[in-house]
Amino acid sequence: MSLMKADKFLLSICDLPSIERTASSAFYNGRKGELFVEYRETEFLKIENGVVQTPNFTYKRGFGLRSFEDEASAYSYSSSLDERAVKKALEVVKSGTENSNIEIKSIANDLYDHKYFINSISLEHKIKILQEIDSYARGKSENIRQVIASLESSWQVVSILTNDGKKAQDIRPLIRLSVHIVVEKGGICESGTCAGGGRFGYEELLRCADPTHSRPQIYVDEALRQAEVKLQALKAPAGEMPVVLGNAWTGILLHEAIGHGLEGDSIYQKTSLFHNLLGEMIAAPNITVVDDGTLLRRRGSINIDDEGTDSRRTVLIENGKLVGFLQDRQSANLLQMNLTGNGRRESYEFMPIPRMTNTFMLAGNYTLEEMIARVQRGIFAKSFSDGQVNTASGKFVFSASEAYLIENGKITAPLKGAMLIGDGPSILKKISMLGNDFSLDTGIGTCGKEGQWVPVGVGEPSVLLDRITVGGANL
């Protein structure tokens, strides 16, 4: 169904068969590559301090043509979807003998609805949603000084023809709602943010299991709660100590400090500390880490990657042992390993590179309360805001957006300014307890690499780190 709908749409805006026939001559003398054709619409709406900003609606369409052999790649792209533009692109990637045998490839996954959804509710309705968020938030507390809410949606159609004549297509919806609130009390300002989304439309975004609240209202309540907790926060202690990480979004630490070092390009280029550790124990025996692009309607999920390979579940670390890497076609060819469906790109303007999809750590058997009770003095980092990572060494600094002091096995005062400092390879060996409360994030992740941004998902259970350096201030 995805193939039929995508093909029909693309045929309505360009002469796709002619483009494909012309592009296929780029692959000669054993060279590999692909033609990537894309159409995308994006809509962004925002309200700030009660004022709705001018809606931003954009669309882009074009193609990218790549030819590669070993580590050498040639790439050309154009926003013109016509045969003349493809012929010019061929001058860059060096054309050869035409291969006109095209085989439609059936895809294994059907993870999200393909229907066009951006106009499923009116612009006026979308603006009303944002205005209701602002009104509801300001009625919750007299301490609120700023309310920012945004609604972003996109609808992407892609068609990929590879050098072996196989064609795969996909239609990808994506949506995200975000609420940010700033409060002030006693001259102190603090903020909180809550957001969520995935590969679905407005109906699912606004649906809520709680009949007394809408999803936007729940986002407001959570953002306000975070901000008000920070108003009471003490300065975080500094030094080495046990740290309990909350579940879900804290998986961003795993994504940044570990995940990038397991992407195939950093492995064959030997810029990753993990490049020669396949089969070695790199984590505690209770740790299993997975990248899975086949989760239903998740933000990081894809039916196919941007090289036409079926998305799949790839185990990276199993019971502490490094067992796999994330591959695109070029890295898999160089490493002589199987494809994993992780060749991704921001748009037709970029070549694909190995990227994560939904990356997470599997659950254990402990409750959060049992982990807290194990700590005499330490920190509970419930969630993170931002961080910096050296992907070559795995060294990181992450700021906790919400944290609490643990004293004598109990959570006491909220903290601010807590930063976790460490490196990916060693942090995996310091996890002594895994929670039974595994969860994925709410659908907000966007990952940057080599100037490209793609949607991703992260997740993990709560975990106990026996010791890690915390940057803060001595209490």
Kindly report, residue by residue over 308-362, the tens digit of the pLDDT: 999 999 999 999 999 999 999 999 999 999 999 999 999 999 999 999 999 999 9
Indicate the residue among 177, 200, 231 that finishes a domain.
Answer: 231
Q: Give residue 3's pLDDT.
A: 58
- For range 78-99, the mean pLDDT: 81
Q: Give residue 104's pLDDT.
A: 74
Beta carbons within 8 Å of 162's beta carbon, 6+ residues apart: 32, 33, 34, 307, 308, 329
Identify the band that residue 465 occupies on the pLDDT scale cut at 50, 70 and 90. very high
Q: Give residue 30's pLDDT.
A: 72
pLDDT for residue 101 is more than 80: no
Kindly report, residue by residue over 361-378, the tens digit of the pLDDT: 999 999 999 999 999 999
pLDDT for residue 297 is more than 60: yes
Q: Give the lowest-confidence range in 206-220, 298-312, 404-418, 431-445.
A: 206-220
Element (H, E) at 9: helix 2-13
Tally Cβ neighbours within 10 Å of residue 335: 16
Beta carbons within 8 Å of 186's beta carbon, 6+ residues apart: none
Residue 358 and residue 324 share a domain: yes
Q: Give residue 212's pLDDT.
A: 77
Identify the band that residue 178 occupies on the pLDDT scale cut at 50, 70 and 90. very high
Residue 456 and residue 347 share a domain: yes
Residue 110 and residue 240 share a domain: no
CB–CB of 363/437 below 8 Å?
yes
Kindly report, residue by residue over 203-215, the tens digit of the pLDDT: 999 887 677 788 8
- For range 31-58, the mean pLDDT: 95
Distance of CA 471 to the CA centre of its chain: 27
User: What residue has token string 């996909």?
Assistant: 170
Residue 117 and residue 138 share a domain: yes
Residue 283 and residue 210 share a domain: no
Domain that residue 295 falls in: 235-471
Residue 460 and residue 321 share a domain: yes
Identify the band that residue 475 occupies on the pLDDT scale cut at 50, 70 and 90. very low
- The Cα 454–Cα 258 span in angstroms is 18
Identify the band that residue 1 occupies on the pLDDT scale cut at 50, 70 and 90. very low
Residue 467 and residue 361 share a domain: yes
Structure tokens at 189: 């300002």
At 139, which CATH number? 3.30.2290.10
Identify the band that residue 4 occupies on the pLDDT scale cut at 50, 70 and 90. low
Q: Which residues pair with 187 in a beta bridge?
A: none
In three-state secondary structure terms, 52 is: strand
CB–CB of 65/170 below 8 Å?
no
Residue 372 and residue 390 share a domain: yes
Q: Give the lowest-confidence range in 97-101, 279-283, 409-413.
A: 97-101
Residue 111 and residue 68 share a domain: yes
Identify the band that residue 29 occupies on the pLDDT scale cut at 50, 70 and 90. low
- DSSP string for residues in 86-145: HHHHHHHHT--S-----EEPPPS---S--S--TTSS-HHHHHHHHHHHHHHHHTT-TTEE
Residue 38 and residue 136 share a domain: yes
Q: Give residue 42's pLDDT.
A: 98
Residue 248 and residue 214 share a domain: no
Q: What is the pTM of this model?
A: 0.95
Residue 176 and residue 79 share a domain: yes
Calculate the average pLDDT of the chain: 93
pLDDT for residue 302 is more than 60: yes
For the chain, the domain total comes to: 2
Identify the band that residue 400 occupies on the pLDDT scale cut at 50, 70 and 90. very high
Indicate the residue among 231, 261, 288 that finishes a domain.
Answer: 231
- For range 223-229, the mean pLDDT: 97
As a whole-number percent, the residues of the chain with pLDDT over 70 amount to 96
pLDDT for residue 96 is more than 70: no
pLDDT for residue 83 is more than 50: yes
Indicate the residue among 192, 210, 231 that finishes a domain.
Answer: 231
